[in-house]
Every structure is written in structure tokens, then in C-alpha cells.
Structure 1
């Protein structure tokens, strides 16, 4: 313990009295099933270098200093990262990240925005799939139930992307995940249905990857869970959105599109579906129209059920150009469960019993939709 304090004092003293140094403001880590994300708040012109070795990564910063109040945030471990060390090599600060498994890295930088006032360096430590050298035995065939319907439940935001923040500092990403987990749990009690989450913890999943997950799981329905937020603290009620490739003229829909579709904000630069003709190449006019019609019917059934437990902001399904709703050929809706910007509704959204009621209502809407097919 005495040794650690001495090391900290030596490093911090060097940082504190350095002149003309670039500042590393803070350090955050996000653990996902296939990668760990490292986010470092820095100045715009900070010079950095990233080198990977067999079992560790070195992230170097030239002429840098670390703040005393965030120094302890450097140190982290999870199932992937064994430990993180800090070392000064002449004028360079090095973060040495020791990794347990075979890995690769990718990195990118992000500019300040409404939620983060500093420039950010994002480094992803990504698992490599190990090639098995052992003899592979023939797996036991599990006959899939052709009648089972697979529902992809998407918890909006996550990780570095907190989503909206309530008046009492509740984070939308946490509310979304809590409701999504409850919805999945309820759905999976029905043997005719199977629900799968796009994320099961506090990490960010790129928007187009959420669609890819739906395709991989052969989902027959996509439901994205969110919470509304506006400047006014009195707006209240739930809304359900379906896809409009042309977007929506309403002020709220445009605001929501802007906040939900920031595809390069937290996940690196993604391929936006509209720009690469992905949607048009896959969907025929007929299947697109059928998807839109079925999405509207599903949205309407969910609204009818949500109306039984609380206020409704829009009594008919709304349309907006949300990237996550572009799952080919399957009904897809985005549920704004309530306004987290309203303190009363924020309290409701963070209450476990109320979260269960919301999840149960969405589930009943799903059942009503399927019963009418």
C-alpha cells in the first residue's frame, strides 16, 4: 500500500508541475460480450499512439498530464482486461492494458457534443475467435420450432450513450434496459414466443448492428424501447413510432430522429442504410409496404394497451426515419414509454413495478397483434 502511494505521488507530482502539457481529463470503461471499450477524455490536439502486443496494448500520450480527481479511474479490470498500469517514459505517458485473451483493437476519436464537453479517444479491445484444434464432434441436432415467433427487443442507447437525462439525473439507457429485460422475461414464459435482447448490459451497440442481430436471430418482430425527452417538464405520455423513410414533418419527430440516429456519435463511423441502398436492394415494394402496414398494426395494439396503464402522448402511431426500424420485412416499432424529462413520469420509469406494468402492456399488445393475423 505504501509503495502504491509513493508511485501515485511521484507520477502525480510530475503531472502537476508540468508546463504546457495536454490534459487527459477522465477515463471510462464499458464491458460488452465481445469487446471492452476504453474512452479517454482529452484535448483536441492531444498526440497519441496505440501499439498492440501479444497480451497487452500500450496507449501513449505525448506531453500529457492526468488530473488528480480522475487518476483512480485509470485502473480497471473485467473478464477481458486483466489490469491497467500507468507509466511515464520521458515526456510520454503510457497506459499499459494487459489482456487475458487473444484480441484485436480498433480506435477512433469523437468531438464534443451536448453530453460530453471534451474530445474523446475511443479504443475497443475486441475478442478474436479462437480456431479450435481439437476434434469436433457432431453436435446434437435441435429441431427448431417453426411456429415459434422470435421477437428482437432493443434497449435503446447504452454505454457511452446515456440517452436522455431526467430532471432527477435518471439515465434513459438504464430505464430502457430495465424495461427491455422485463419484457424479454415475460415473453419467454410463452412457449410460442422467444425474445432476444440486442444488449444485456451497459454497453453501446451500433444502430445498424442492432438490425444485423435481428437478421442473425431470424427475428419476426423488432421492438425498440426508449423514453422521450423535451425541454418542457410537463409533457407526458407514451408514443409508438413506425418507419417513415421520408421522415416526419412534426417538430418532435424531427427532434427524436436527430437524437436517435446519431450513428457515428458512439459507435464509430457506421454505414447508414439509406446511403448504401441496403434497404432498397433487399426489399421489394410489396414487402416494404407489407412491413409498414404490419408495423402500424403492431404499434396501434401497443398503444391500446399502454393507454390502460397511463397517459398517451399520441393516440395514433407516429412516423419517423429511425435507423433501428429498418429491419427488412418484419414489423418494427419504437416505443417511447413516457417522458423522462417530466419528474413525475421519471419517477414512474424508474419504479420496478411500473416498469413491469409497461413491459406487460407491450407484451399484451404483441399478443393482440398476433391474434389478429
Structure 2
């Protein structure tokens, strides 16, 4: 009897220890021009440790196990990451990330939300500012064209932030980037204009950084490309938003404010509206009244052009407190090109020819705006 009792406790203890293991659910990577982002889906109380060495990084998890169906997602290569290995050291799982160049890291955790059901550990592998190539390569001298107007085109969302998802699983971030790239290509055919993208691939750019990019590029206009989504599958049409620091009373505007502004958690910031001193300083800019008036005029011209190629949801510019529109002194608009939540409009948004039509209409709106100045 004593033997069977002892055996029971041994088996019970083994199962208890197994149950105590934390699970690493999935692994994702995003390559940006200056960093690679590693995202690991985990349990809330997972113990982890991150150590950096000269040419590799170790991310350790205590008492952890990896789901067999996501194990292959561990391994990744890009221009920054040479290879990823996994090693078990007693009860600890170690992810060993070999890096090609000098690097630094930052990390933060994110809570579950409507899109991601697990807690997440986010680790950014960031290029070091000092590179040998910068020492030996002479900077390219670019002669600016006199009176050339610079337009910053912002493809909304990106990377971990997919934006809205269509009924046929199309992702807003992909649609936004496709239209933005087409708009930039069209604009750059005009020698009097120059267009620059805030992102050129599938990675996330924090909202405040999009504003600083506009300032760095000396942009004279800011246009953010998005696609609407609501619960109803029949809602349709384009809308154009301008900044209102007080927000808007409409239900859709409030919904959009929440979804657009909170996404900056993907940059490691839970809230940027009240806490960011940079944005507070922008709001003190004395030229904002002129900016708001010019933004309204630009939005109005874009709406008139979009109306020629498809339905319009709101025929006058809408107002919302979008962080991304807080560029000082320059007209800034956010274009909701159509409703990706409407299956018919989703087809249109994912069609290359239709994307070109949308981009061409926005471009014509820009030209009409400049012709009135």
C-alpha cells in the first residue's frame, strides 16, 4: 500500500510540474529599415530575461514550452538577423538570435486586445547609429528643386498592427500601403512635387514618429491613407478627416479616434495623447488656425475627386482628434478610402486598377488644392 501511495505522489507531482510550465504560443518577425521586431505570444506571468552580446542576443524563458504547431515560426533570417537557434538549459528555453551588425535592443510587453488574444513580448533589434559604411561613404549631395512642394504620404498601420480586417480576410495595412505607393509614384512624375512614404514595407511606425518624419523631410503637406470598418457590411463610401483637438460627436469619428490613436501601443506607448510633451508643444503652435483652414480646403478638394470614381460616405470633411494629423503648420488630412468591412468595397480596395484610380483621385485633389493658393 505504501508503495502505491508513493507512486501516486510521484506521478501526481510530475503532472503538476508539467502543468506549471508556461507556454510560448507563437513567434513573429517584422523587418523595418532601422530595426527588426520580434514578437512572442506568451502567458501573462511568463518569466523572461534578455541579454545582449557582441553579435548575438539571448531571450530566456523559465519553465517554458513551445507549441509544436508554431515551432517552425521560431526560425527567421533577414538583413539584420543571421539565424535563430533554440536551446534548452534544464528548465529554461533560450532563443539565441545571431545578429549581422552592431545593434542595441529595447523591449516591452503588450496586453491582449481585440486582435491578439495572448500577452506579447516585443523585442526590437535596432541598428547601431555608428556604422563603418557611414565612415567611408561620402553623403550623397541632392540639389533641391526650387519651390518644390514635399508631400508626406502615410500608409496607416503596419507590422503587428494590421488595422481593420475585411470579410475576406484582407488587411487594411496592406491596402493602405498599396494605395500609398501608387500615390507616391503618381506624385513623383510631377517635377514640381516630391512625395515621401512614412513606411515602405510591412512594419510599424509610431504615430509621433510619423510627425517627426514630416518635419525632417520639410513636408508641406501630410496625407494619411486608411480604410474604414464598421460592424455593418453595407456601409460604403470614402471620407476625409481633418484634425479637431476637441474630437467629433459622431459615433464613427469617436470609434475611429479610439482605434487610430490607441495603436501606438505597438510602439511601446499605451497612450500618447495626454502624456507626449512633443505633441503638447505642437498644440501651442500659433499657425494651427491657418493649418486647420488649409486642411479643410485640401480635404474638400480630395472629396470632390473621389466622388467621381465611387460612393462618398460623408460629402463634407469630417473632424476627429487623430494624433497623426498634428503636424504643425502644414495641411494634414486622413483619407478613409472605402469600407473594407463591406465585401464589395473590399474587392475594390484589393484590386490594383481600383487602387490606382483612388490614388489618381487623391492626386487630382492635391493639384486642385494647390491651384487655389
Give the TM-score normalised by the residue count of structure 1: 0.92
Unpaired runs of 5+ in structure 1? 1-16
Runs of 4+ in 1 over 4 A off after TM superposition: 131-141, 282-286
Larger radius of gyration: 2
Q: Deviations over 1:258-298 (max 9, x none)?
A: 00001442110177255445345346664110000000000
Residue in 1 aligned with 2:341? 341
How far did 1:115 drift? 0.1
Residue in 1 aligned with 2:196? 196
Structure 1 residues 175 and 127: CA distance shift in structure 2, 3 A: same
Q: Deviations over 1:335-362 (max 9, x none)?
A: 0000000000000000000000000000
Structure 1 residues 354 and 133: CA distance shift in structure 2, 3 A: closer
CA distance in 1, matches of 2:359, 2:276: 35
Residue in 2 aligned with 1:244? 244
Higher helix share: 2
Say which SS state the counterpart of residue 357 (structure 2) adopts.
helix
Residue in 1 aligned with 2:6? none
Say which SS state the counterpart of residue 262 (structure 2) adopts.
coil
Say which SS state the counterpart of residue 98 (structure 1) adopts.
strand
Q: Does 1:361 align with 2:361?
A: yes
How far did 1:130 drift? 2.0
Structure 1 residues 89 and 275: CA distance shift in structure 2, 3 A: closer
How far did 1:73 drift? 0.2
Residue in 1 aligned with 2:151? 151
Structure 1 residues 135 and 91: CA distance shift in structure 2, 3 A: closer
Q: Does 1:87 align with 2:67?
A: no
Q: Does 1:330 align with 2:330?
A: yes
Residue in 1 aligned with 2:234? 234
Alpha-carbon contact 1:208-1:271 (below 8 Å) kept? no
Give the TM-score normalised by the residue count of structure 2: 0.92
Alpha-carbon contact 2:282-2:327 (below 8 Å) kept? no
How far did 1:19 drift? 3.9
Q: Does 1:96 align with 2:96?
A: yes
Say which SS state the counterpart of residue 356 (structure 1) adopts.
helix
Computed over aligned residues only, the root mean square deviation of the Cα atoms, in angstroms, reads: 2.0
Structure 1 residues 236 and 81: CA distance shift in structure 2, 3 A: same
Alpha-carbon contact 1:206-1:270 (below 8 Å) kept? no
CA distance in 1, matches of 2:77, 2:25: 20
How far did 1:140 drift? 6.8
Q: Deviations over 1:186-232 (max 9, x none)?
A: 00000000000000000000000000100000000000000000000
How far did 1:20 drift? 2.0
Unpaired runs of 5+ in structure 2? 1-16
CA distance in 2, matches of 1:127, 1:348: 38
CA distance in 2, matches of 1:282, 1:174: 30
